[in-house]
Structure 1
Amino acid sequence: MQTGLHFEHGQVYTYVIEGSRASEKEPLTYESSWTDYMSEILKDGADGVFGIVIDQLNPIAVKEAQELSAQLGGEGTVRLYTKEKAIVGMVRFQRNDLRRGNTAVFDYSEEQFAYYDVREKSGKIIVEKQDYTQMMEQANSKNDKDRLFSEIIRKVFARGVTSTVYLCGIGFEGEWFQQATRILCRGRRVFMGNHLFACGAAYLAGQESGFEAENACLITENMTVCQIGLTLYHHGRDVFYPLLPEGRAWFEAKGEMEIFVSGITKLIFELRTKEGRKTASVCMPLSGIKKNKDFVYKLKIQGEYISSERCRIKITDEGFGSLRPSSHQVWQQVIRLERSESHE
């Protein structure tokens, strides 16, 4: 059984997939933390795998999910997702054909009005978030909201073809968007409901390897802004090997590789867009290494983000087997990134 739970502003929305059957549960109110809520339902005998969507996804929440998984006796039994990742799962579960047109998600909660553009490019799902909260806050009446929402629709649908639209959130309750509805329904399928993110989380929780979410690029303020890696000579040609990915929650983005080098005293890390276009290079000196082509070094390279716009690169000399023991020398450097580097 796959259960998706979306926690937002004291409400929990639950979606369950069991075999070929899927069902929504009535929203419930919770007063404590999401971890307390999960602990209670686990005590009541809930089983299967769980996908959780929460407001503030951070390293502490990830650790809490790991502890809950341990209670259930299996790693990854409780998995956390951002809204962007949950949308990837929803699109897959609903079998939206992105080759025929983009999918649009409008999320109107108590605190924000967000638009998510979901499209496919080169076999990869791209989810890009745009925040229109300030624009919608200008509304003083229902007519104002309808007018502003209509303006947003015209703006975001001006590029590309959008074939499917989802409206999610308590902000869409009431029949205030009359004009906007007419615009939305012009040649598009339109759906409304509050279990959208729970549905996507339930679907992704059931994917053993998580490949549906991995083959996606998520563009928001909490996601990594570019690929970071090395161009290495392999089988007669230069090949780019990414160490850190683009479009992942920064606290989940880690990477490691091992390379053999000789005759160099530095490494050049490249910053690339999701399409592979190089935007910048960063030189990392390797002081202490001998610039001798007959002297081979095995280097372990580790990368991790320490914020959405800063990453740390750590390089360790691993020696070279029995020929040369490790010197245990370590080089570290923090790379600062700009969000504009990842956009066209």
Structure 2
Amino acid sequence: MGQGSIIGYEINEKTCQISYYNEEQLEPETLEADTDNYQIPLMIGKLRDTWAYGKEAKRLATVKEGFAVTRLLERSLAGEKIEFAEETYDAVWLLSKFVQMSLHAFPQIDGIVFSVPELTEELAQLLRGIAVRMGIDKQHIFIQDYKESFCNYLFYQPKELWQYDAALFCCDRNEIKAYMLRRLKAGLGGGKTTFVTVDEVASAHMKELAAVYPVLNEDKAREADSMFCRFIEGVFDKRIVSSVFLTGEGFDNNWYPKSLRVLCNGRRAFIGNNLYSKGACYTAYRKEYMHIENPVYLSESKLTDQITVNMRVNGQEMNYPIVSWGAQWYESNSQIEVLVDDLQEIDFHVESLVQGSVKTETISLDHLPKRAEYSTRLQIETLFLNEKTCKVTVKDAGFGEFFPATDFQEEKIIHLGGNDGKFSSLS
């Protein structure tokens, strides 16, 4: 791992933000777009033959020189084309150009996690495709939503901050949303793993907030503070909350002193606008360097089944997950290579959190050529056909020049249970 090779990349319709893993500090550090400002405007522009991105592209739009393009995510998903002078650009190409330019300070990227407000399969495919075109290995590209980024940020904070529930308040200039991280019931997965989820517990449109910006209106600020205070009390009702996190441009002005006192009453409170990119960076670190993730974040769209194979990893025998619970099914295609010795078959253990069951699927190795001890190398590949169907393929990978690969190949279709609306039963 090199300095800055692990990236957390927050992106939304307006801005992006980049955090990278600092090896010296052993934690993420956020790239400054300006002094004490981490937000990079999601804009790209061109003046004559020179491309610009972020604040420089925003300047082009302000002075009306060249051209500048906004709404890059929306336009890319819609497959739009943008015309300027005699040139036509695909919106996807422009977004890709923006991402590449914004990451110019990181020549080698070993792993990247994009953090987005709401995750869809189409958005995941878009961002993954951009990262692949940049030369990043597709096995090291992940996309998650803000809630999962919040979870992964907390996992690396002192345990007392999420001993009970942990609250996240997000505020733009007219709406506040409240989320709560909570642990799911103990004993899931044999009790060896901690599972958590994040619920949106409340939201409120507050038109008073609009008057707080850009100049602080004292009367409206006091009114907004009182409303926010009541909102907090409703969110915290009958809950034990260990910590509170505030994020979003709506908290930039200090209009909520009364609410802050309520937030800090018996709990620790934090404010900042780089939580999502840091959380994504922590996720990238976990994906790269942890064989088994614990704790695990679950949501309605996550896999609640895992597929494991018994093997020795770094001298330790374990049930190694080739499909992990808590992953998105469309991000769970994988390929690994293993050395085997005198095996007649490979057992794949399928464990369901919802059903509380474990079943075993077997692939026979009877037709695999016999070789000397530890000179049989197999490739195990998982390919999801849909959210409930995984095809596992075992191939002979050979052993260098000593034993060329043969045409041995066996497949097994494994049917997973999915949530079937039973996710709440895990609570």
Output the TM-score relative to the length of structure 2. 0.54
Residue number among 29, 33, 38 corresponding to 2:72 in the alignment: 33
2:129 maps to what in 1?
63
1:98 maps to what in 2?
159
State whether structure 2 residue 279 is matched by structure 1 residue 279: no
- SS of 2:296's partner is strand
Deviation at 1:244, TM superposition (A): 1.6
Structure 1 residues 305 and 202: CA distance shift in structure 2, 3 A: same
Deviation at 1:13, TM superposition (A): 3.6
2:372 maps to what in 1?
none
Structure 1 residues 25 and 222: CA distance shift in structure 2, 3 A: farther
State whether structure 2 residue 252 is matched by structure 1 residue 166: no
State whether structure 2 residue 284 is matched by structure 1 residue 217: no
Q: Distance in 2 between matches of 1:206 and 1:270?
A: 26
Percent identical pairs in the alignment equals: 16
Q: Distance in 2 between matches of 1:328 and 1:212?
A: 28
State whether structure 2 residue 350 is matched by structure 1 residue 270: yes
- SS of 1:209's partner is helix
Q: Distance in 2 between matches of 1:62 and 1:79?
A: 6
In structure 1, runs of 5+ residues without a counterpart are 233-237, 291-297
Q: Distance in 2 between matches of 1:271 and 1:239?
A: 15
Deviation at 1:310, TM superposition (A): 1.6
1:313 maps to what in 2?
391
1:191 maps to what in 2?
270
Structure 1 residues 96 and 228: CA distance shift in structure 2, 3 A: same
Q: Which amino acid aligns with 1:131?
A: E
Matching of residues 1-344 of structure 1 within 5 Å: 2=4, 4-15=8-19, 23=32, 24-30=36-42, 31-33=70-72, 36=94, 39-40=97-98, 42-43=100-101, 46-48=104-106, 49=109, 52-55=114-117, 56=119, 58-68=124-134, 70=135, 75=137, 80-82=142-144, 83-84=146-147, 86-87=149-150, 90-91=153-154, 96-98=157-159, 101-102=162-163, 104-108=166-170, 113=177, 115-117=179-181, 126-132=195-201, 135-137=202-204, 146-155=229-238, 157-158=239-240, 162=242, 164-170=243-249, 172=251, 181-202=260-281, 209-211=288-290, 214-229=293-308, 240=319, 242-253=321-332, 254=334, 269-273=349-353, 279-282=356-359, 302-307=381-386, 309-316=387-394, 330-339=410-419, 340=422, 343=426
1:235 maps to what in 2?
none
Structure 1 residues 247 and 25: CA distance shift in structure 2, 3 A: same
- SS of 1:61's partner is helix
Deviation at 1:37, TM superposition (A): 5.0
Structure 1 residues 305 and 101: CA distance shift in structure 2, 3 A: same
In structure 2, runs of 5+ residues without a counterpart are 43-69, 74-91, 209-223, 312-316, 368-376, 400-404
Q: Which amino acid aligns with 1:64?
A: I
Q: Which has the greater radius of gyration?
A: 2
Give a deviation string over 1:287-312, Cα, whole Å, max 9, x none.
Answer: 9x89xxxxxxx9975434455x4231
Deviation at 1:114, TM superposition (A): 5.3
Aligned residues: 314
Give a deviation string over 1:21-70, Cα, whole Å, max 9, x none.
Answer: 765525343214367356247448822256542343523422221212x2
RMSD between aligned residues: 5.3
Q: Distance in 2 between matches of 1:207 and 1:284?
A: 28
- SS of 1:53's partner is strand
Structure 1 residues 180 and 304: CA distance shift in structure 2, 3 A: farther
Deviation at 1:150, TM superposition (A): 2.5
Structure 1 residues 268 and 278: CA distance shift in structure 2, 3 A: farther
